[in-house]
Structure 1
């Protein structure tokens, strides 16, 4: 009999809402569920940025599993870092979230459960060191249990994929099906939310009821939580076994600044190409990385933004041209580029603007705004 746990919640799947619409990537989850037990792939990892539909995908998977007659447990993890602060404040005894999970998995194994669904598993402390290796043990040594897990601190899964796991030098890709969710194409966006192309261009990128890209406050809040905290928290988790972990060498504030500057540079390059088409050249000075972080480590951070699915490579028409980088969330791209455009125009004096051929600020900004929308539509194949 399962007891009540302080950190991990065990949910009743009969209380889940029924979702008639599914994301395109659900077909891969269905393939995982329907695969033979003899397959080596015992873990399905649904990973991506906040608001990309991971929890709903997991609930849909749990509903399909139970409908097929399999025994399934559905668990939800809580933020262990915040839990520790609360316990310390109350001066009460603290039990690791991973210890609670081990107890539950022992029970599930003895009771012959087939599947364990775990939502937001990257919220557990020591996820990379302890929690995930426990899951690997249960699905490689026990062979009975299969897991479907989600995590918003999605950079953790990239770090896992780049290293051997502790169990028999197993690689993540040997035992896990990885399903990214960060990029939501327009066809899925309009199908799931019923919204049109202009909404996708200006606010698209997540499946949240209220877009995080409505204004500067909500945009910055989303970037801090979904991107910066994602990368920092994931790197923090490697400190005990990776002496080159960036958070051991640099202040977190500097790493966060680099992340912001990388996002600025990607969107600034996008805007520069539009301005160049209008005869305005070299108006931007590329943001200089103004910290002590080494160039190689800056490149690690740039690569991390690609790994979490926020920066995409767009192939060019000519094979001789390098692929360009673009933010995978059109709403974020639109916010950054329009903000940069307004700052640029407002910071230049009238004489300089006239030299650039800009006679009326409002008319110019309106025209470039329309071109920004057009280029976003083109790049996202609307």
Structure 2
């Protein structure tokens, strides 16, 4: 299948798929790996039944079989509506999983933004030819491939390139998923005598990613470059900053957002904040537009809190604290907090019951008595 993918007016890519995806989520994962897309997005396609007008892609069967034009619409930077800021009750919240395998378009996303399953990319023509022949031999008599140094190097380089487009700092679980997907797609690469068949690939990826980050740092890649700090003064060695859980840790500026325009937006924001009744919608749009600049200043320069308050006063309002949390980790702050609090409620109640059983008089005795009669959180 041949795809023409419109990422932005300035970036239109040509993508060739060897296998037709079975679902829209799988297609999103393939494009995420192939094009290095980050954040949540939905897909639109040119529908031939309506004069090639764009329609949202909700069913993979709607996509033309041989050639299609897709448009990527990012959804993670949408400003929050007033309804998002409403505080829900404890009884209406439920703990959410910290990882979601495949975030669907329009969802709030997950804390890792890692595709599941990981889509193994294509390699060069000669390597693909060798793998195809070795896979046939493995299917016939179980013979594994004798991998040359050049073939292994290309496989690891290609995988590291795809991983880096998602995150330069994958976890061990992430690398395990890549190694598993590799031997599933190419069983000839399984390790002889190994129970799982992918352990050596995982450790090879660990070292390869370290070398790849060094290359990215030499190229000036900001998300890797910013993670090197100097402790104190003098000849202290650089110390790598601890890994963070942010999805949009150090995002690139959006299309059309130049440094001059960002400064004008900052000035407009400062004037808007000083008003007695500032326009909240305007502040949402300005804070979203200047998000990349703000992250670069806070992470790169590490300013004092007082300097941040002078530079970004809108950031210290309740509405923007919640909005900034969503921009960084793509999750709702109140929902995450209340969901986490729900997880601790049984332990806290058990602690109070133990204290009450020991004869200590508690201010929450009446509440505990009520919970003994009704131990459900449903209304």
TM tier, smaller: under 0.3
* Structure ID, larger Rg: 2
Q: TM-score, normalised by structure 2?
A: 0.24
Q: TM-score, normalised by structure 1?
A: 0.24
